[in-house]
């Protein structure tokens, strides 16, 4: 499907890169997608193209400091700044939707770490999100900082140290997929984020706390997709979180043999087909 590369100017002047798939006719829905801590929109071209073929307008944002956003690489001034970026894009998309297809839903989709941003946005600004799709969301992680790392981060908060560079603790591609060619892709991807700043980690800490508490304030239909052999996400804790959602319209899909990134599984059509089945099932 046709793919456009765009820049969206955030309210503070930062230029956010995005990949945009537009269907040939009137969109049956609008999907705004958020990626994980290390990935970027380029990892998800197959599923985004499939959604577009099915009639959905898909806007996949590269988080500031990630992907093709090279300014302040791996940094975030604070968690609210990342949420504000998502809110701005959702608001812009809804205004566009109102002009061309006012009955089409706006769906917020997030993978891995992006699940924090999606959960908080859906809780804070429910009028912007008609449905929520969380793919192996980074709400409850298996990979956690050590006591020494937590102490260092607490010290950084007290001293307002925000520009120290820290390696992302997910640099083993086998954490994402068991497929050798996709492991090689991740290993050699020049756009993958390998380091973040202490400022980003402080934002991460704040966003983690808020996203865990956000479940009861999320009232829209929600689809949760989990990888059964995930070494990054704690699936059981994530299910407990989902049980606290403020909606009865919760659908769980679990892929027992999947490693983490469903896009990099041998048969990615399985999860895409399930997503395309779910959207109409909740009246979208």
Q: What is the pLDDT of residue 173?
A: 96
- pTM for the whole thing? 0.96
Domain residue extents for the chain: 3-281
Residues 6+ apart with CB under 8 A from 183: 173, 174, 176, 177
Helix (H, G, I), strand (E, B) or coil at 6: strand
- Structural tokens at position 192: 């993958």
- Do residues 222 and 251 touch, judged by C-beta distance below 8 A? yes
In this prediction, residue 146 carries a pLDDT of 76
Phi and psi, residue 147, nearest 5°: -60, -40
Measured N-to-C along each axis, helices 198-213 and 114-124 cross at an angle, to the nearest 10 degrees, of: 50
Report the distance separating Cα 60 and Cα 39, nearest Å: 12
- What pLDDT sits at residue 284? 59
Which numeric CATH code is attached to 3-281? Answer: 3.40.50.1820
In this prediction, residue 189 carries a pLDDT of 98
Q: What is the mean pLDDT of each run of 10 residues along the chain (284 residues)?
A: 91 98 95 98 98 97 98 96 98 97 96 98 98 98 80 85 90 95 98 96 96 98 98 97 97 97 97 96 69
Distance CA 18, CA 30 (A): 14
Closest CA to 33 of 19, 13, 23, 53: 19
Instruction: Return the pLDDT at 1.
Output: 62
* pLDDT value for 155: 85
């Amino acid at each position: 499907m046709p793919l456009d590369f765009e820049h969206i100017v955030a309210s503070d002047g930062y230029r956010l890169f995005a990949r945009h798939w537009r269907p040939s006719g009137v969109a049956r829905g609008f999907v705004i997608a958020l990626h994980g801590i290390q990935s970027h929109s380029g990892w998800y071209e197959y599923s985004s193209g499939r959604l577009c073929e099915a009639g959905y307008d898909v806007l996949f944002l590269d988080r500031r400091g990630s992907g093709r956003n090279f300014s302040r690489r791996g940094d975030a001034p604070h968690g609210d700044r990342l949420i504000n970026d998502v809110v701005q894009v959702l608001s812009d998309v809804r205004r566009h939707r109102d002009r061309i297809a006012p009955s089409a839903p706006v769906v917020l989709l997030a993978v891995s770490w992006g699940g924090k941003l999606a959960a908080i946005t859906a809780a804070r600004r429910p009028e912007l999100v008609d449905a929520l799709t969380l793919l192996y969301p980074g709400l409850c992680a298996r990979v956690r900082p050590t006591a020494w790392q937590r102490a260092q981060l607490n010290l950084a908060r007290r001293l307002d140290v925000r520009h120290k560079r820290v390696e992302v603790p997910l640099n083993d591609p086998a954490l994402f997929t068991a497929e050798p060619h996709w492991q090689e892709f991740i290993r050699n991807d020049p756009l993958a984020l390998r380091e973040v700043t202490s400022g980003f980690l402080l934002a991460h800490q704040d966003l983690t706390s808020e996203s865990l508490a956000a479940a009861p304030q999320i009232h829209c239909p929600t689809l949760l997709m989990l990888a059964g052999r995930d070494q990054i996400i704690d699936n059981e804790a994530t299910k407990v979180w989902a049980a606290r959602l403020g909606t009865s319209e919760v659908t769980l899909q679990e892929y027992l043999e999947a490693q983490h990134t469903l896009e990099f599984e041998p048969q990615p059509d399985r999860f895409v087909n399930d997503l395309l089945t779910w959207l109409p099932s909740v009246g979208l």
